[in-house]
Amino acid sequence: MTPYLRRRVTVLTAAAAAATLALMSLTVQPASAEPTQHIPNGDFTTGTTGWWSTENAPISATGGELCAEVPAGTTNAWDVSLGHNDIPLVTGAAYSLSFRAHASTPVTVRANVQLNEDPYTTALSRAVALTTEAQTFEYAFTGNLDSANGTLTFQLGGGAEAFVFCLDDVSLTSDVAAPPTGVEQVENGDFADGASGWYTYGTTATGVEDGQLCATVPAGLANPWDAGIGQNNVRLTAGASYTFSFDATATPGATVRAAVQLGAEPYTSYFSRDVALTATSQHLEFTFTASEDTTAGQVAFQVGGAAAEYRLCLDNVSLIGGEPEPPYVPETGPRVRVNQVGYLPGGPKNATLVTDATDALDWQLKNAAGDVVKSGRSTPRGVDAASGQNVHTIDFSGYATAGTGYTLVADGETSHPFDISSTVYQQLRSDALQFFYIQRSGIAIDGDLVGEQYARPAGHLGVAPNKGDTDVPCRANSCDYRLDVRGGWYDAGDHGKYVVNGGIAVQQLLSSFERTKTAVTAAHGAGLADSTLRVPERGNDVPDILDEARWELEFLMRMQVPAGKPFAGMAHHKIHDANWTGLPMQPEDDPEQRELQPPSTAATLNLAATAAQGARLFAPYDAAFSAKLLTAARTAYAAAKANPAKIAQDLGGGGGGYGDDDVSDEFYWAAAELYLTTGEAAFLTDVTASRHHTADVFAATGFGWASTAALGRLDLATVPSALPAADRQRVRQSVVTAADNYLATLTAQAYGLPMPGNAGSYFWGGNSNILNNVQVLATAFDLTGAAKYRDGALQGVDYIFGRNALNQSYVTGWGEKASENQHTRIYAHEKDASLPHPPAGSLAGGANAGLDDPYAKDLLTGCKPMFCYVDDIESYATNEVAINWNSALAWVASFLADQGRAEPAAVSCRASYTNYGDWADKTGFTAQLTVTNTGTEPIDAWTVRFAFLGGQHLREAWSAEATQSGATVTARNTATNRRIQPGATVYFGFNATTPGGPNPAPELITLNGAACAQA
C-alpha cells in the first residue's frame, strides 16, 4: 500500500506585489524598498500574541507593556527567557533592532538575535543594563547566517534576586524580502517525509539524501519531458499571484525546465522556465499569475534532454499563493441510513436514523409507487460513540415482499432507495472476484471480459519501459541471484506484490471454494463453478475461483529462494519498484527497476499454508499442480522451522513494509493446513503444541494479514479431518463463541456492525476486518444452522453498504452513494478523466481514526471515528484498494449470494457414511452410504451429494447412478429404489481410487439439496 499524498499549509500573509513570470530578488530587497518588520506585535496591542517565555517566567501584557516575573537563583542567563520566533536570518542583510525596557530593580540582561536550534549561533548579542526607568535601546547589525528559523530572545536569568522585566515598542526590521503571501500548495517540499507526494519517471537511483530529493538523469533523452520529478493535484486559482521557489543542484551541470502546469491533457502551461544548474546550490524564486481555476495543477521539473548523465537534487520546493481551501464538510445525504443495496426477503432489515429527538419517532416503509407498506416506531439509542450522533434504530424485518425502489421515511427524511430481493447479492460475488483478474500482473486484461475501459497490455514482463518481473535482482545486493517472479496480483494502489498480503487474499478465495464442500447453502459450489466468473480460463472444467487463485499461487511459488542458496526454500517477503511512482501510472508504463526484498519467516509460512490448502483443492482437477504445491509447502515449512525468527527486513524503495515481529500465528496456520492436507502426525503435533490452538484467536477487531491464527482455526473447524473428536468439538465451539461475541457487539452498536465503537477499532483497512468478523458469523451459521448467525452476518454488511455515519457505500458500483475515487495508480479517474474509476466490486479501506496520511490528517483532524474517511484518491490510509480487503468482501459476498431467501432448508434425512478401508495395494477404498427419510412424506426420486477431501476419484458404484465432478460425487436413484417412504432407508456403495493421504468422511451429505443429519 502506498504512501502518496499532498497537503496545504497556511503561511504568514503580507502585502502582495508580483509581476507575472517575473524573476524576483532571491534574498535582499532593493535599497529603495521599505524595510520588512519581523515583529508584528511589538507594541503588545494584541496582548502576548506571537511571544513566548520559559515556564518559570509567566508573561502578561498590561498597560501596553509585556512584563515577566523573573525568579531568583537560576544559574544561566538562558534559564529564564522570553522572545519571538520566526525571524528570517540572511547572510549580508542589514538589520535594525530597537525596544524600550525597564526592570523593578537595576539589572543587566542580554538581547540576542540567534538561530533557534542547535548550535544556536548568534547574529547579535548585547548586554543591556536596565534601570527602573524605561529606556530605548537601538542596535544595527549585519546577518551572518541563513535560516528561516531565527529568534529574538531576551535572556533574563542568572540573578540572585527576583525582579520584574517589562518591554515595549519592540521592532526588528531588515532589508530581507517579506515572505510570500497565501497558502502553501506543495506537500512535503522539504522532503522531511521522504519522497511522499512526489512522482518520478525516467530517472534512476531516486531517493532522499541529506534532506534533498535526488535522482540520476540518464544521458541521451531526446526531450526535457522524457524524464521528470513533480507533484500532482496542485490547486490554482485564476487571477491569483503565486511564488514558486526551490533550491537545486545538478552535478556536474545541466539545464532543467521548472514548470507549473495542468497535470492532464492538454497540459496547459501556467509557468515555465529553463534554469541552468551547477554543482553549487542555487535558490531560485519566480512569480506568476494563474490563468485558470484547477485542482489538477502540477509542479513539474522536466529534466531530460542532457547530453551527459547528471545527478539532480531538489530541496525547499514551494508554491505559495491562492486561497485556502474551504473547510471540509462531508455530504452525508438523508439522515435515514440504510443498506443502499438492499435486503434479503427473509433476512433482517435494519436502519439507523440520525435525529435530535430523544423519544421514539414514527417511520414508514414505502414502495416504489410511494405507497406505505409498513410502519412503526423507532428505538432511541442515545449518542453513538463511533459517530458522535444522536441516533435511533428502525427494524422493519417483518416485511418480506420482494421489490425495487423501496424507501424508508422518518423524522421528515427519506432514505436512499433500496431493493428487497433474494438475488440482491448475486452479482456482488462476481464483481468482488473480478477485481482480482483486473489486478493481475503479467497478463493482458481482456476488455471483452471486464469492459474495454479496463483493458490494458500485460504489465511488468520486461517490455520497455518496464524493467519487468522476469529477471529481478535483490535490493542492495542482498542476494547473488535473480528470479522470474512474473504473475500474481498487484497488491493495492501500487504495483508491488507482497507475499503476506497475497497469502491471506488467496486463502480467502480458496476457502470460499472449500466452503462449498461443507455448507449446505453453498449448493455444492454451483455459484463458483466453471464459467461463472469473468476470467480468461473459463471453460476449462476447473472452477473459475480456483483458476483465479492459481494465478497468485504460481507467483507465490516463484518467490521461493532457489535450492543451494542461503535460506533456500524460504520465500522473499515482497517485490516492488526501487522508487515510488506517481499517480496515475499504468503497469505497462512503470519505468522503475523491480527488486526483491529479503526472505522472511512470515512470507515463507504464508507460502506453506496456502500451497498446502491449494494442494488438496486442486487435486481433483490437476494432480501434477497439486503435487507441485504440496512439495513447495513442505519445503517452505521446513525452511521456516530452520529459520523461525527471520523477521521481515525492509530495505526501502517504492513499496510498503508489511513488517510482522510475531510469526507464531503463521506457524499455527501453516501447520493446520499441512495437517488437513496430509494427515501427518508431525503437523498435528505442531498444531496442538501451538499456544494459538487453545487461545482465543478471534479478536474483537478481527483478523488480518498480520494475525492469521484465525485462518487455521476456521479451517480446522470446517474441513473434514481426523482431529480427535473432543478437540475438534472444542475448535468448532470456539468459532461459535466468537460469533456470539460478535453478535453482542453488533447488537450494542447503533449502526449494527460487529466492531466496537472506540477510535482504536477504526484503523487502516478496517472495512476488511469488519467483513472478516462477518465471516466468523457466517461460519458459525454453516456449523450450527442457527439463524441468528446468518442474520448477524446479513446485518453486519449493512455498514459496508451505507448504514453508517457518512451514508457511504464502500463498494464501488454498489449503492446510491458509493466510493469511486480509491487510491490506485491503475484506475485513477480522479487524476486523469480518460482512465476509469475502480471496477464495480472494489472495496475501500474505510474510516481510519489514525488519519495515517497527510491528506486525511489535514482534512479530517478532529473527526469522530466513523467520519474519518474521504473518497479521494489522495487518501491512501482511508481509501485505498487492496487484494486482502477484496478477498474478505469476496468470501462474504459468496456467502450472501448463497443465502437466497435466507431460509435454511429443512432437515428431512439422516445419512451414514462407512469407509470399509483401503485396498491391499493402498490405491483405493470401498465405501457405503445409507440415507433414511426422516420426514413425513415419501420422497419420489432422490439425489445424494457429498464431496471428497482431495484427490479421491469414483471408479464405480452400485445401487445408484453415480458421477463425479471435481471432488463432488452425485448419486441418483435407480429404477428399483426411486421411492423412499417415511422412515425407510436406501443404500448404495462405491469403489474409489485415492492418491494417498487422509480420506475423512464427508462433513456434508445432502438429499435433494437438504443437509442430512449424520449418524
Least confident of 191-195, 304-308, 633-637: 191-195
Among 48-62, 830-844, 928-942, where is mean pLDDT lowest?
48-62
Please check the confidence at residue 847 and state whether its pLDDT lies above 60. yes
The mean per-residue pLDDT over the stretch 874-887 comes to 97
Question: What per-residue confidence (pLDDT) applies to 876?
Answer: 96
The whole-number pLDDT of residue 147 equals 85
Distance CA 847, CA 233 (A): 22
Contact status, residue 442 vs residue 487, Cβ threshold 8 Å: yes
**Can you give the pLDDT at residue 29?**
43
Report yes or no: 762 and 866 within 8 Å, Cβ to Cβ.
yes
Answer for the pair 871, 821: CB distance below 8 angstroms, yes or no: yes
Cell reading at 794:
446479513
Per-residue pLDDT tens over the stretch 721-738: 999 999 999 999 999 999
Q: Cβ(934)–Cβ(907) under 8 Å?
A: yes
The whole-number average pLDDT for the span 219-243 is: 93
Please list the residue range(s) of the chain that carry CATH number 2.60.40.290: 909-1014
Question: Alpha helix (H) ranges present in 798-901?
Answer: 854-860, 876-879, 883-898
DSSP H or E run through 62: strand 59-62
Higher pLDDT, 701 or 199: 701
Distance of CA 11 to the CA centre of its chain: 31
Q: Confidence class of residue 903 from pLDDT cuts 50, 70 and 90? A: low
The CA distance from 768 to 703, in Å, is: 9
Angle (CA) 124 126 128, round 5°: 145
Looking at every residue in the chain, the average pLDDT score rounds to: 93
Beta strands in 131-262 (DSSP E): 135-142, 147-155, 163-174, 183-184, 199-201, 204-209, 212-217, 228-236, 241-251, 253-262
pLDDT score at 948:
98
Which segments of 548-634 are extended strands (E)?
Answer: 571-572, 574-577, 594-596, 599-600
- Kindly indicate the confidence band of residue 22, based on its pLDDT and cuts at 50, 70 and 90: very low
d(CA 847, CA 806): 10
pLDDT tens-place string over residues 617-672: 999 999 999 999 999 999 999 999 999 999 999 999 999 999 999 999 999 999 99
Residue 14 has pLDDT above 50, yes or no: no
CA nearest 570: which of 629, 506, 635, 651?
A: 635
Distance CA 224, CA 784 (A): 67
Can 686 be counted among the known catalytic residues? Answer: no
pLDDT digits (tens, 9 = 90+) for 372-418: 999 999 999 999 999 999 999 999 999 999 999 999 999 999 999 99
CA 441 to chain centre: 19
So what's the pLDDT on residue 33?
56
Q: Class of 9-15+181-321 per CATH?
A: mainly beta
- Looking at domain 28-174, which of 2.60.120.260, 2.60.40.10, 3.30.1490.20, 3.40.30.10 is its CATH number? 2.60.120.260
**pLDDT for res 907:** 59
Average pLDDT over residues 270-293: 94
Set of cell numbers at residue 39: 515583529
Residue 46: pLDDT band with limits 50, 70, 90: confident
880 included as an active-site residue: yes
Sign of CA pseudo-dihedral 698, 703, 708, 712: positive
Position 5 scores a pLDDT of 29
Q: Out of 65, 592, 880, 898, which one is annotated catalytic?
A: 880
Residues 875, 856: Cα–Cα separation, whole Å: 6
pLDDT at 11 over 60: no
Mean pLDDT of 54-59: 91
Q: Where in the chain is the domain with CATH 2.60.40.10?
A: 336-420
Q: Which three cell numbers stand for residue 703?
A: 483478523
pLDDT-based confidence at residue 179 (cuts at 50, 70, 90): low
In the block, residue with C-alpha cell 441516533? 391
Whole-angstrom Cα distance, residue 785 to residue 1003? 14
Per-residue pLDDT band at 906 (split at 50, 70, 90): low
pLDDT for 631: 98
What is the per-residue pLDDT for 905? 54
Active-site entry in 65, 871, 874, 1003: 871
* CATH no. of 336-420: 2.60.40.10
90-129 pLDDT, tens digit per residue, is: 888 999 999 999 999 999 999 999 999 889 999 999 999 9
Q: Where in the chain is the domain with CATH 2.60.120.260?
A: 9-15+181-321, 28-174
> Of 659, 856, 576, 820, which is closest to residue 4 (Cα–Cα)?
856
User: Mean pLDDT over residues 46-73, rounded?
Assistant: 91
Q: What CATH architecture is 909-1014?
A: Sandwich (2.60)
Q: pTM for this one?
A: 0.80
For residue 715, pLDDT over 60 is answered with: yes
**Residue 902 clears pLDDT 50, i.e. is over it:** no
Instruction: Supply the pLDDT for residue 64.
Output: 87
pLDDT of amino acid 311 = 97
Express each pLDDT in 531-557 by its tens digit: 999 999 999 999 999 999 999 999 999
2 pLDDT above the threshold of 90: no
Q: Report the relative pairing of strands 943-947 and 968-972 from DSSP bridges.
A: antiparallel
